[in-house]
Amino acid sequence: MKIMIIGGGGREHALGWALAKSEGGRDFYFLPGNGGTISIGHNIKGLKDHDSIIDFAKKERIEFTVVGPEKPLVDGIVDRFDEEGLSIFGPSKEASQLEGSKAFAKEVMQNANVPTAAFEIFDDFNAAKRYIEKKGAPFVIKADGLAGGKGVVVCSNKREGIEALEILMLERKFGESGEIVIIEDCLSGIEVSVLALVSGDKILPFIPSQDHKQIYDKDKGPNTGGMGAYAPVPFISGKDTTRINKEIFTPTINELKKRGIEYKGVLYAGLMLTKEGPEVLEFNVRFGDPETQAILPLLNEDFLELLLRTNEGSLPDKLDWNNQYALAVVLASGGYPGTYEKGFEIVIRENDCILFHAGTKIEDRVLYTTGGRVLSVIGVSDDLEGAKQKAYQCIKRISFKNMFYRKDIGDKGIKPL
């Protein structure tokens, strides 16, 4: 089968890697791909709008497309492919509102009684400001629309809150995304990510994983796209898993159905494990990055078949995992998530970890940095500590100028509080 993968990050390299191990995977096309995906298939640059992607898919007779990032999904690429009779993995434009509009997601959760922080929605700056002035800190302000992970501010006092409102609603730093804001209560606990394949009524969760969003050790500093992840999460109990399925995934999918929206694809629940139980921080309508890099190496299934079966509505009842742990450490360009230099040569000496590329390119057989998150290094072992040791051993064999990475990925799983 000829397969196209939209995106060029570590997640897309991991998706391609898993699909290439599948029996039915043949020719691979990455739009635009990176220095790692080139060893799996072709990197195709410059196809930005849906029309040119569809033209390309037709010309190359692509038989199956997998979408990595949220933007094309929220913009309706799946609906466009469906109209053209082209096969694609991911939710429709309407279903993608679960990520594309946080207000929509909150209303769905409220109607379905899904545990999530109490909230108010505002489209007027002065009304939002008055609300903050009455409300006690801490609270969380969120831009309604997509903001590349930067539209959420956890505020510890009113001044921070008003500043965030000004940036989102008046300065419009994230454009239309800040037209509407959600102000919600601050939840405390431990964050985990649970991704599930969803097809009709069937919901098939992957093993839980944990991201490390802040740039520095001990979760200090600004948020990033994610500095590392591991799977599975040892402190999630069977009871938690049952509650996540029963109280979160099932009612959310049912509520969408009531509204005439069928969800098909992967649904990612960003959760806070609070004292009262799991609560939803956000939904994403795609695979997580870097969670995917830690999850897929442990999957004992034909990944292509699984995605095709999601589309056909014939998902199996359970997934087979190898009983190991995988831990992904992201190597970033120093300065990320702020400004950073790129174009440095990357030297990788032989090591026995899986490497997924993100901001890399190959020119004349030399690998260079091209982005903030450059590589993820995945250690797999029988226990989490072993997976951590392995990943960090491999990192010693990789170098580029200004390389930066967190040293504590996995610690919350190894030594739970």
Nearer to ligand GLY, 97 or 344 (CB): 97
Number of CB atoms found within 10 A of residue 281's CB: 19
Non-local CB neighbours of 284 within 8 Å, separated by 6+ positions: 70, 98, 99, 267, 268, 270
Return the residue of 94, 184, 255, 289 that touches ligand GLY, per CB under 6 A.
289
| Tokens 């190597």 sit on residue | 331
Query: Site for ligand GLY (CB under 6 A): which residue of 8, 69, 161, 226?
Result: 226
Stretch that binds ligand AMP, among 64-72, 185-193, 252-260, 401-409 (CB under 6 A): 185-193
* Residue closer to ligand GLY, measured from CB, 128 or 211: 211
Q: Which is nearer to ligand GLY, 174 or 344 (CB)?
A: 174
47 φ, ψ (degrees, to nearest 5): -95, 100
> To the nearest whole angstrom, how small is the minimum distance from the Cβ of residue 119 to ligand AMP?
8
**Site membership for ligand GLY, residue 151 (CB under 6 A):** no
Under the criterion CB under 6 A, does residue 281 sit at the interface with ligand AMP?
yes
* Sign of the CA dihedral running 270, 272, 273, 279: negative
Q: Which does 288 bind (CB under 5 to 8 A by kind): ligand GLY, ligand AMP, none?
A: ligand GLY
Tell me which stretch binds ligand GLY (CB under 6 A): 285-293, 301-309, 337-345, 398-406. Answer: 285-293
**Phi first, then psi: what are they for 16, rounded to 5°?**
-65, -40
CA 327 to CA 221: how far, in whole Å? 22
Shortest distance, position 188 Cβ to ligand AMP, whole Å: 7
- Binding partner at 147 among ligand GLY, ligand AMP, none, C-beta below 5 to 8 Å by kind: none
Residue 145 partner contact from ligand AMP, ligand GLY, none using kind-dependent CB cut-offs of 5 to 8 Å: none
- Measured over the CA atoms of residue 288, residue 149, residue 114 and residue 236, the dihedral's sign is positive
Beta strand spans in 287-358 (E): 325-333, 347-348, 354-357
334: left (phi over 0), alpha (psi -120 to 50) or beta: beta
Q: What does the DSSP 8-state code read for residue 259?
A: T
In terms of CB distance, is 13 or 106 closer to ligand AMP?
106
Q: Which does 12 bind (CB under 5 to 8 A by kind): ligand GLY, ligand AMP, none?
A: none
196: which DSSP letter? E
Among the listed residues 12, 94, 184, 211, the single contact to ligand GLY using CB under 6 A: 211
Q: Which residues pair with 241 in a beta bridge?
A: none
- What six digits make up the tokens of 17? 């890697």
- Token pair for residue 383? 């226990």
Contact status: 184 vs ligand AMP (CB under 6 A): yes
Q: Are strands 139-143 and 214-216 parallel, antiparallel or unpaired?
A: unpaired
The site partner of 3 among ligand AMP, ligand GLY, none (C-beta below 5 to 8 Å per kind) is none
DSSP 357-409: ESSEEEETTEEEE-SSEEEEEEEEESSHHHHHHHHHHHHTTEE-TTEE--S-T
Contact partner, 152, from ligand AMP, ligand GLY, none, Cβ < 5-8 Å per class: ligand AMP
Residue nearest to ligand AMP (CB): 282
Site for ligand AMP contains 191 (CB under 6 A): yes
SS3 content of the chain, % helix, strand, coil (to 5): 35, 30, 40
Rounded to whole angstroms, the Cα distance separating 102 from 92 reads 16
Does position 12 interact with ligand GLY (CB under 6 A)? The reply is: no
Alpha-carbon distance of 375 to 369, in angstroms, equals: 9
226 binds, among ligand GLY, ligand AMP, none (CB under 5 to 8 A by kind): ligand GLY
Residue among 228, 270, 288, 371 that touches ligand AMP (CB under 6 A) = 270
Which residue carries 């635009």 as its tokens? Answer: 32
Q: Considering CB distances under 5 to 8 angstroms, the limit depending on partner class, which of ligand AMP, ligand GLY, none binds residue 281?
A: ligand AMP
**Strands annotated E in 52-180:** 64-67, 88-89, 119-122, 139-143, 152-155
Which one of 23-31, 69-77, 184-192, 304-312 is the stretch in contact with ligand AMP (CB under 6 A)?
Answer: 184-192
Going residue by residue from 193 to 222, which x/- string records binding to ligand AMP, judged by CB under 6 A?
--------------------x---------
Binding site for ligand AMP (CB under 6 A): 117, 140, 142, 152, 154, 184, 186-187, 191, 213, 270, 281-282
Binding site for ligand GLY (CB under 6 A): 211, 226, 284, 288-289, 291
